[in-house]
Each structure stands twice: as structure tokens, then as C-alpha cells.
Amino acid sequence: MRNFIKLIDENLDKFLEEKYPEEIFKSMRYSVLAGGKRLRPVLCLEACRVFGGNIEDAMPTACAIEMLHAQSLIHDDLPCMDNDDFRRGKPTNHKVFGEATAVLAGDALLTFAPQLILQKSKNLDDKTKLKLIEQYCIAAGAYGLIAGQIVDIESEGKQISAETLEFIHTHKTADLFKLSLKSGAIIAGVSEEKVNLMEEIGQKLGFAFQICDDILDETSTFEEMGKTLGKDKQAHKPTYTAIFGLKKARKEVKYLLGNVCDMMSEHGIESGIFNDIIHDIKGRAFS
Amino acid sequence: MRNFIKLIDENLDKFLEEKYPEEIFKSMRYSVLAGGKRLRPVLCLEACRVFGGNIEDAMPTACAIEMLHAQSLIHDDLPCMDNDDFRRGKPTNHKVFGEATAVLAGDALLTFAPQLILQKSKNLDDKTKLKLIEQYCIAAGAYGLIAGQIVDIESEGKQISAETLEFIHTHKTADLFKLSLKSGAIIAGVSEEKVNLMEEIGQKLGFAFQICDDILDETSTFEEMGKTLGKDKQAHKPTYTAIFGLKKARKEVKYLLGNVCDMMSEHGIESGIFNDIIHDIKGRAFS
């Protein structure tokens, strides 16, 4: 895991080389290289590895997905969105570079990512590259991340159904987990059945991760999380804990992660890294 | 020309079918279907046609480029950027849908466009699709549009050199003209030499168009243009007219467009539509 993270950090640094105009690359680098658990690119590399693929072939796509994640955080934090001042213990992008540059840095990352898949995936054939870019575009756009975002915003201060919350969590969070795992499998060149299995695991893992995040927003501190907490509650944002309470939330995390473990063993997928991630989410949900 | 515009409008409407969540598709459609001259997609279709290509094959790419153009306008108009209230005589996107939705609609368009090229270009092979998406990403990102935008913002209120102004105009404006013309040529399947010729024509045409826009910002009225004018001057934004004056600006437009005509006749490119566009830009610069 630590080895994967180191490789991902090195590659993100290399791919995002600072060029003219420096200000935009500085702003992109600030958010992309701000650390974090690199969960999504790690999932991508590991999904490729467990199916016998070469992790070097998956590196551009893994980094592209991390860039998409960073993009969504930059725009999420903007004053007109969640208006957050801190992220991972550091001032948010617009606090450092100004709003205009933060908007543009997010925009630039959105198309830098597929460009990376296209230009740097040397051993992949054209069909595979197109498949990866298609999945990327769907996950990033109005059928993916943005769909989750917009319904999330519309739901502020409203009573929403469990179905609507599921829609938000599916698209705002799980879609990137699904994209990571599916892409890894696609790069490894496995059957559609296995790609679909990865999608299902991504959905459950993403849900568990999001519910855990909702739990931590209630139970954690700024020092532990590096961002202002309790804001969802303040903004009357719908969260799993707000609708179902802390107890049911923890039960659901345990249930979903148990499901993922069952699916893995059923299909003979052995991965210390997947196990570590599952263990980590569970540990944080019950901390 | 009118026939092309009608076809483009119909296809944009079809490609951007309203789905759930409606709010994001409404916002995307509001800006993309707001009319306008459809100059960039027309250039794309016509470049494909003059080289013997099928304009149906170019339609998804032409529409994708128009979506990118709309995206750049939505984000450009935001309060943290140019803070414009009107565009084409109508309230800007964030004035109608709010800032958060406007940011997200722009984001959604940025990845919807390559998805369109990828999924709807039925007769193109994988290599051609990848080439088109690569050109799209470069023009949209930190080496293209965004590079122009950021230097434009940094230059506000400053004395800048003619070279810096050229950098801004190249990336902020000419890059989309180049993308349109090159893409059309790529779809028609012509030689690299001809693709490069289209790039050169795009650069000159884009420059002439931008200088003309700078002239109109000084000489036109809100009623004629559908947007608030004189804002560049107010914001001490560098424009061609501010640096070189109206007379030299008009002379340069005439010179650039003459160049384009020479290049076309030298390479045997016969196009009533290109001639109309050239005539129109010249007419507006001298109105």
C-alpha cells in the first residue's frame, strides 16, 4: 500500500510538470499533490494487479482519476458551493490562488486527466484507451459526479427520501470508486463479467466510505480530519447519520464491507490492499 | 451556412436531451441552445466538407466544440471571473440558475463533449476518435483555453507586451478556431500537411475575429451585441485596440483576412462558407 502511494505521488508530480503559465500549474499541483490517502488510484492499480495486469499500464489512468477527484474537491470547496476554507489541514485552493484561478484549475484538470490516459498509456491499444476515457467521462459528468452534486445541492434543508440519499451517494462518491476498480480491470484485460464484479464492489465500498464520512463529520475533530466538520449538519445537508442515526450508520458500514469480503472470497480475489482498505474504513466508522 | 446552422442546432438539441437531474441539463441546454452564430461548429463541418469528408461524421465533433465554447462562456461570465450579467441579450447562466449550478453545468459540458465524439461518431475508426479527443483536450485545457484565460486575468490593469497579448488571443480565441478546422480535416482523413494548413488558417481567422471583437467592444452598443460593452476598458483589460488603437486594429484584421484568402486560393480550397465568414468579420470590423 505504502509502495503504491509513493509511486502514485511520484507519477502525479511527474505528469503535472510545472509549465507556463505557472500560476495555473501551481494551482493544479497544490491540490493534486496535497497528499491524502490516494484511495482511488490505489484501488485502480490493485484491481489491475489482482487480475494479473501490469500496474505501470494502469498508472496514467490511476493518476487521471486522482486528478478528477482533486478537481471535484476544488470546485466543491468554492464559496458558491460548500464554501470551505480548509482541506486536509491546508487552506483550500481558492483561499490560496483566488476563486478565478481555482475555477480554472478545476477546469484544466477535467481535460488534463483524459489527455493523460490517451498520451501516457503506452502499452494499451486504442480500443482500451477509448473504453477508459468513456468510463472517465461518464463518471465525471452529468450522469456521474455532477448528478450527485446537483441533487445534493437541491436537497439542502429539505427532507429527502432514502432513495434520493442513495442517488447522491452513488454518484457523488461511489461512481469514482467504481471507475477506479473498473478501469483497473479493463486495463488488465479481463472479461466483462469481472469488470461488472468490480463495479459492484466499487458501489458497496463507495457507500461504506461515504457513510463512514458522514459518521466522522459528527464524531471527529478538525485536527483529526484537516477540514471544518459539522458543516453538513449546519447546512442542513442530508447525510446518512441525519436520516438513520449513528447506530444504523455503523451497522450499514459493517454490512456493506462484509458483503465486499464475501464477494471477494467467492470470486477468489486475494488482496491485502483491499483488505487493508476495508479494515481502515471499518476502524474509522467505529472509532 | 443557414443550412449548417439549422443542422447544428437540431443536433445540439438532440445530443443534450433533458434527463434527470433536470436542473443540470436545463442549465447546460440554456447556454448551449442560446443561439449564436455557431461559427466554430460551422468551420468544423465546412473543413470536413471541402476535403471531401461526410459532414454527418463531423457533426458530433462540431457539436462537442460548440459545447466547449459554451462551457468557457458560462465560467467566464461568473462573478469571480468577468462578472457578466448578459450574454447574447439574455441573462447569463449563473443569473438564471445560480452560481453553483453554473459552475457544475460548465464542468459537465467539459466531459460531455469528448463523450459525444466517442459515442456518436459512428463511422470513425478508433485512431481518428483518439486524435480528435486529444486535440479537444489540448485546446480545452492548461495548454489551450485555460492558458489564455489565466494570463488574461493576470494581465488586468497591467501594461503588457504585444507578445503577451498574442499569447492571450492565441489561446483564448484562436485555439478553438484551430481545433474546429483541424478536426474537420482529420475527420475527412486528409494528409498532415493539410491538417497543419487548417491550423494556420484557424490561427489567423481566430486572431482577426478577436481583434474584431476588441473593436466592437469600443464601437458597438448593447442592443447590437447582446452583452455589456466597454467592460474590458473599464477593467483595464489588455485589448488590441487599447495597445495599438482602432486604426491599426482594422488594418490588422484586413491583413490577416487577406492572408487567409491567399492561403485558400493557393491550396485550391473553394468555400462559399469560409468566404462568407471572412466577409462578415471584415464587415463588422469596419462597421
Q: Decide if pLDDT at B9 tops 80.
A: yes
Model confidence band, residue B132 (pLDDT cutoffs 50, 70, 90):
very high
Q: Residue A79: what pLDDT?
A: 97
CA distance A36 to chain B (A): 23
Q: Residue B218: what pLDDT?
A: 84
B122 vs A126 pLDDT, higher one: A126
Beta carbons of A103 and B81 less than 8 Å apart:
yes
Across-strand partners of A91? A86
Closest to A4 in 3D by CA, of A52, A58, A53: A58
Backbone angles phi and psi of A86, in degrees to 5: -130, 150
Architecture in CATH for domain B2-285: Orthogonal Bundle (1.10)
Write out pLDDT tens, residues A105-121.
999 999 999 999 999 99
Q: Decide if pLDDT at A129 tops 90.
A: yes
Mean pLDDT of chain B: 94
In this complex, which of A118, A130, A146 lies closest to B107 when CB atoms are compared? A146
Chain A residues 14-33 within an 8 A CB cutoff of chain B: 19-21, 23-25, 28
Mean pLDDT of the A197-213 span: 97
Across-strand partners of B90? B87
Write out pLDDT tens, residues A71-92.
999 999 999 999 999 998 899 9
Across-strand partners of A90? A87
Beta carbons of B107 and A133 less than 8 Å apart:
no
The answer to whether A94 touches A77, Cβ cutoff 8 Å, is yes
Query: Nearest chain A Cα to B144, which residue?
Result: A108
pTM equals 0.96
The rounded percent of chain B whose pLDDT value lies above 70 is: 95
Mean pLDDT of the A205-227 span: 85
Q: Which residues of A touch B80 (CB under 8 A)?
A: 98-100, 103
Q: Residue B117: what pLDDT?
A: 98
Q: Residue B230: what pLDDT?
A: 66
Mean pLDDT of chain A: 94
Residue A246 CB burial class (10 angstroms; 0-12, 13-18, ≥19): middle
Chain B residues 108-167 within an 8 A CB cutoff of chain A: 108, 110-112, 114-115, 118-119, 126-127, 129-130, 133-134, 136-138, 140-143, 146-147, 149-151, 153-154
Q: Which residues of B touch A71 (CB under 8 A)?
A: 107
Q: Residue B192: what pLDDT?
A: 97
Domain locations along chain B: 2-285
Beta carbons of B133 and A133 less than 8 Å apart:
yes
B21: left (phi over 0), alpha (psi -120 to 50) or beta: beta
Q: Name the DSSP letter for residue A143.
A: T
Q: Who contacts A54 (Cβ-Cβ below 8 Å, separation ≥6)?
A: A48, A123
